[in-house]
A and B are shown apart, each in its own frame.
Chain A
Amino acid sequence: MENTAVIFANRNFKLKSVNAKKFALWLFIVSICMLFAGLTSAYIVKKSDGRWLEFDMPDMFLYSTLVLVLSSVAMHWTYLKAKDNSLKAVKIGITATAAIAIAFFYMQYLSWVKLVAQDVFLVGNPSGSFVYIFSGLHLAHLIGGLVFLLVVFLDTMNYKVHSKSMLAIEMCTTYWHFLGGLWIYLYLFLVMNN
């Protein structure tokens, strides 16, 4: 009885704080937001300078955006399945998410090919260079997301992901949705400014 009381007392105090790792992830997300906020404001400042090359964004970027949204859906499905303790579905879900993400990589590459066909190069007017930098830097962060997926996949193999131990997959889902949202922001930003 006394033990229970102590545990409850501890619990009440600790409930006030967020999980430290989750909080650290949010701070990491804040720093990525600042990175892209810096880059997109650089874009606006540079554009207002004049000597700006106008061109149409290839349609391929729209398709790739839809594919990335699909991968976020798959990720969320995986998360729900982990809550239900259906580990097999979790493994399928993670694989599917990663596969769709790799398709996204390829489609981004195809978009670059389209850009080159439009005579928009990395080296040249900054308006084109920015598109390559934004999409390339986003892909670099997505590689981090893929590594995170792999870690969660291995955890699932070792029965470390289930309804009572959701931390890893929860954080992975948060990061994945963030990367999806980040790309949608970048895509809309580029479309509206071009």
Chain B
Amino acid sequence: MSITDIQVTDELVHGDDHHEEHHEQSFIFKYIFSTDHKTIAKQFLITGIFWAILGGGLSVIFRLQLGFPDMDMGFLQPFLGDWISNSGKLDPEFYLAMITMHGTIMVFFVLTAGLSGTFSNYLIPLQLGARDMASGFMNLLSYWFFFLSSVIMFISMFLSTGPASGGWTIYPPLSALPQAMSGSGMGMTLWLVSMVFFIASTLLGGINYITTVINLRTEGMTFRRMPLTIWAFFITAVLGLLSFPVLVACVLLLVFDRSFGTSFYLSEIFIGGEALPNLGGSPILFQHLFWFLGHPEVYIVILPALGITSEVISTNSRKPIFGYTAMIGSILAIAFLSFIVWAHHMFITGMNPFLGSIFMFLTLIIAIPSAVKAFNYITTLWKGNLVFTPAMLFSIGLVSFFISGGLTGLFLGNAAIDINLHDTYFVVAHFHLVMGSAAFFGLLAGVYHWFPKMFGRMMDEKLGYIHFWLTFVGVYLVFFPLHYIGIAGFPRRYYSFTNFDAFSSFVDLNSFVTVAAIITFGAQFIFLFNFFYNIFKGKKAPLNPWNSNTLEWTTPRIPEHGNWPGEIPKVYRWPYDYSKPGAKDDFIPQTVPYHQTKESNTDFENEESKKEQPAT
């Protein structure tokens, strides 16, 4: 009797046995409405790539406007239609729409959904030894909510009044009043609807990631044996769970202000000499709510990239990651601090200078865990047997951007300097390096590293090197000069600066940045070719191409639904046993028990090996 009872609970708790019976699925359920985490991950990746091309393409167009203000853009008329005037000039309102869409697309659709959505989905079950996510159905919903939100945002770009144009931060009253600018009409409404679905998608995904990490680790996979990728995805999901609901609150009040006439964010506004009825609201309230999400969002973007980098750098340095515990500690510290620094985006809102100095202090503390991470990457590389795969190069590139972009964060975190530099190109340079390019490099490193597992084929290394060098040098050529333009005082989001004499000496520099941006954007097509061509035609991948320790490389070349054909492997050690003294290979996978590696065990591990039961 008691045995039957236990079996019942067993099935309820884990329920992984029924996955093993493989049944043929129709095309629709296998590739479109799939509940398999690997398929969903690929769906996120392909959708993310689509958005990245679009977001990058928009930036090239507005860079043309900034770099060559006198240019005849008539050749863009087939794509942009009436947004290009008959004299070949870009419509100023559409310029604002493009920077808004560029920001929204890159922050949310590419670096949140495209990065977390792809790699959390793909790696969490594979690296933890689970058959699938905790709830495949929620995972399916997560992708399709994202898809719906993508469709709505895409449609908004074809409105005759243009998409949302008030900047990706959608500050009211600009975004709250349809009279304020044409983009604040229907475009803004669709932006808000799209974001509601996006948040639903992120929350569904995040709840799933957290539950899977807590509940579905294979036997022996303690928290202290989890790869740093999983730690990063886990904490990222917690950040999203805590911060996105606040964005819902923020957006909900904005929706009420826009559509029902409430006055949460609006007060004493005159349009065309006539007073609006709204009284008693405060636009600063919006900023508080927005940045309470907005700042953790920055870490939602960068933490997964840092996790991927930890894994790639350790594997390709053939060395254990330096300071595993410190890495986890710094992730936790960054996550905690991210919730108490939001007002550093608001130093110029007239806040009490004393309050400002508290937020400044808290902001500067973030430098400590960030520096811990940077030092640990460098010390992992130090004297390693470096293997320069494309993934490794992109990871090192990430570390470079993280440092050079992070340094300017120290300046901007100071209220006194920030008041001067706020909303200039200095800020643009800072966050494009530390968050944009760094996270993008993490994404690329992840694709190069796990492509063999995703598609069972190899990407071309030479094309990968060309892609890396063009992109790496290109990113610096684009964003480094922007620091100077920013220090000179040029504000971001301006359509044109040729009207101001003070900036006439920067015309050449701006043209240079634009050319660099076009080359960098063009280099991404090398990647696209490499990616799509090799899905079908690439060399078949070996089972463990990078000699890596983690569990995903113990699956078949193309894992079926359920990931492992037989039993789920057990885990006996941490994932970073590279070049262990005495060991016969320079890597020992997590599935190898201590009692099989007597020659390389420490005393403590020999003790542990006595507790291990021989594998049955």
Contact assessment for B8 and A123 in the assembled complex, using a CB-CB cutoff below 8 Å: no
Contact call A38/B250, Cβ cutoff below 8 A = yes
Contact B208 A24 (CB under 8 A): yes
Which A81-108 residues sit within 8 Å CB-CB of chain B? none
Residues on B with beta carbons closer than 8 Å to the beta carbon of A27 = 206-207, 210-211, 241
Chain B residues near A157 (CB, 8 Å)? none
User: Which of A65-73, A125-133, A174-182, A184-192 has 4 or more CB atoms under 8 Å from chain B?
Assistant: A125-133
Q: Residues 133-159 of chain B: 1 if any A CB is under 8 Å from the residue's CB, otherwise 0? A: 011001000000000000000000000
A14 to B16, CA, bound (A): 12
Q: Is A62 an interface residue (CB 8 A)?
A: no
Asked whether A31 lies within 8 Å of B7 as measured between CB atoms, the reply is: no
Interface size class of A (residues with CB under 8 A): 35 or more
| CB interface residues, A 1-52, toward B, < 8 Å | 4, 7-8, 10-11, 13-14, 17-21, 23-24, 27-28, 30-39, 42, 45-46, 49, 51-52
Residues on B with beta carbons closer than 8 Å to the beta carbon of A35: 245-246, 248-249
Please give, as numbers and ranges, the residues of chain B lying within 8 Å of A126 by CB-CB distance: 262-264, 280-281
User: Cβ of A39 and Cβ of B249 under 8 Å apart?
Assistant: yes
A32 (CB) vs chain B CBs: closest residue: B245
CA distance A31 to B248 in the complex (A): 10
Q: Judging by beta carbons under 8 Å apart, are A129 and B263 in contact? A: yes
In the complex the two chains form, what is the Cα distance from A51 to B280 in whole Å?
Answer: 6
Q: Tell me the residues in window 162-217 of chain B with beta carbons closer than 8 Å to chain A beta carbons.
A: 203, 206-208, 210-212, 214-216
Residues of A within 8 A of B245 (CB): 31-35, 38
Q: Does A171 contact B (CB under 8 A)?
A: no
Contact A42 B249 (CB under 8 A): yes
Contact A13/B219 with A23-B214, A27-B211, A129-B263 known, Cβ cut-off 8 Å: yes
Q: Contact between A31 and B288 (Cβ–Cβ < 8 Å)?
A: no
A38 and B246 contacting across the interface, CB-CB below 8 Å: yes
Report the Cα distance A18→B9, complex, angstroms: 12
Task: Report A-chain residues with C-beta under 8 Å of the C-beta of B203.
Answer: 28, 31
How far, in angstroms, from A37 to B13 measured CA to CA in the complex? 32
Complex CA gap A45/B261 in Å reads 20
A42 to chain B: which residues have CB within 8 Å?
249-250, 253, 264, 285, 288-289
B134: which of A24, A31, A137 is its contact (CB, 8 Å)?
A: A24
B12: chain A residues at CB < 8 Å are 19, 167
Does B275 have its Cβ within 8 Å of any Cβ on chain A? Answer: no
Bound-complex Cα distance A13 to B244 (A): 34
A123-B138 Cα distance, complex, nearest whole Å? 37
- How far is it, in angstroms, between the C-alpha of A21 and the C-alpha of B288 when the chains are bound? 34
By the criterion CB–CB under 8 Å, are A10 and B10 in contact?
yes
- Say how far B68's CB is from chain A's closest CB, in angstroms: 44
Q: Are B262 and A20 in contact (CB under 8 A)?
A: no
Q: How far is the CB of B18 from chain A (nearest CB, A)?
A: 15
Enumerate chain A residues within 8 angstroms of B138, measured Cβ to Cβ. 24
Task: Say yes or no: is B279 at the interface (Cβ < 8 Å to chain A).
Answer: yes
Sort chain B's interface into a size bin. 35 or more
B19 near A: Cβ within 8 Å? no
A125: chain B residues at CB < 8 Å are 263, 279-280
The answer for the CA separation of A38 and B249 in the assembled complex, in Å, is 6
Distance of A7 Cα from B17 Cα, bound (Å): 13
State whether A7 and B6 are in contact (beta carbons under 8 Å apart), knowing that A23-B214, A46-B264, A123-B262 are contacts in the complex.
Answer: yes
Judge whether B572 is part of the interface by a CB distance below 8 angstroms. no
Is the CB of B3 closer than 8 A to any CB of chain A? yes
Which B551-590 residues sit within 8 Å CB-CB of chain A? Answer: none
Given contacts A7-B3, A19-B12, A164-B8, contact A122 B262 (CB under 8 A): yes
Check if A45 sits within 8 Å of B285, measured CB to CB: yes
Nearest B residue to A50 via CB reads: B280
Known pairs A23-B211, A24-B207; A11 contacts B253 (CB<8 A): no
List CB contacts (< 8 Å) of A120-164 with chain B.
122-127, 129, 133, 137, 164
Tell me the minimal C-beta distance from A126 to chain B in angstroms: 5
Tell whether, in the assembled complex, residue B263 and residue A49 are in contact, meaning their CB atoms are under 8 Å apart: no
A contact residues around B263 at 8 Å (CB): 123-126, 129
Q: Give Cα A150–Cα B547 distance, bound, in whole angstroms.
A: 53
Instruction: Say whether A20 contacts B135, CB under 8 Å.
Output: yes
Q: Please encode chain B, from 250 to 283, with 1 for each CB lying within 8 Å of some chain A CB and 0 for all others.
A: 1011001000111110010000000000011110
Quick check: is B539 within 8 A (CB to CB) of the other chain? no
Give CA–CA (A188, B214) in the complex, Å.
35
Knowing A38-B292, A39-B249, the reply to whether A123 touches B261 (Cβ < 8 A) is yes
Asked whether A28 and B207 contact (CB < 8 A) given A23-B215, A35-B245, the answer is yes
Does chain A have a CB within 8 A of B355?
Answer: no
Shortest Cβ distance from B613 into A: residue: A9
Distance between B171 CB and nearest chain A CB, rounded to angstroms: 15
- For B249, what are the chain A residues with a Cβ–Cβ distance below 8 Å? 35-36, 38-39, 42
User: How far is B281's CA from A49's CA once the two chains are assembled, in angstroms?
Assistant: 9
* With known contacts A34-B241, A42-B289, A24–B135 Cβ distance under 8 A: yes
Do residues A20 and B134 form an inter-chain contact, with CB atoms below 8 A? yes
Give the complex CA separation of A46 and B215 in angstroms.
41
- Given A28-B207, A124-B263, A164-B8, the answer on whether A20 and B281 have CB atoms closer than 8 Å is no
Chain A contacts of B242 at CB under 8 A? 30-31, 34
Given contacts A38-B246, A122-B260, A164-B8, contact A14 B13 (CB under 8 A): yes
CB of B14 closer than 8 Å to a CB of A? yes
Residues of B within 8 A of A39 (CB): 249, 252-253
Most chain A beta-carbon contacts within 10 A, residue among B242, B249, B267 = B249
Query: Which single residue of chain B is at the shortest CB-CB distance from A11?
Result: B6
Q: Give Cα A38–Cα B254 distance, bound, in whole angstroms.
A: 14
Q: Which residues of A contact B215 (CB under 8 A)?
A: 17-20, 23
Residues of A within 8 A of B261 (CB): 123
Q: Which of B250, B256, B280 has the most CB of A within 10 A?
A: B280
A4 to B6, CA, bound (A): 10
CA distance in complex: A45, B9 (Å): 48
* In-complex Cβ contact of B135 among A17, A21, A37, A123 (8 A): A21
> Is the beta-carbon distance between A31 and B244 smaller than 8 angstroms?
yes
Distance to closest chain A CB from B102 (angstroms):
27
Which of chain A's residues has its CB closest to B265's CB? A126
Contact A49 B282 (CB under 8 A): yes
With both chains docked as a complex, state the minimum distance between the C-beta of B80 and any C-beta of chain A, in angstroms: 38
CB distance from B478 to the nearest CB of A (A): 36
List 9 extra interface pairs beyond A31-B241, A51-B280, CB under 8 A. A23-B134, A23-B211, A30-B241, A32-B245, A34-B243, A34-B246, A42-B289, A124-B263, A137-B252
- Interface pairs A-B: 3 shortest CB-CB: A38-B249, A38-B246, A35-B245
**What are 28 contact pairs spanning A and B, CB under 8 A?**
A7-B7, A8-B6, A11-B9, A17-B13, A19-B13, A20-B13, A20-B216, A21-B134, A23-B211, A23-B215, A24-B134, A24-B138, A35-B246, A35-B248, A37-B246, A42-B250, A42-B285, A42-B289, A45-B288, A46-B282, A46-B285, A49-B282, A122-B256, A122-B262, A123-B260, A123-B261, A125-B280, A129-B262
Task: Name A residues whose Cβ lies closer than 8 Å to a Cβ of B.
Answer: 4, 7-8, 10-11, 13-14, 17-21, 23-24, 27-28, 30-39, 42, 45-46, 49, 51-53, 122-127, 129, 133, 137, 164, 167
> Which B residues are closer than 8 A to A by beta carbons?
3, 5-10, 12-14, 134-135, 138, 203, 206-208, 210-212, 214-216, 219, 241-246, 248-250, 252-253, 256, 260-264, 267, 279-282, 285, 288-289, 292
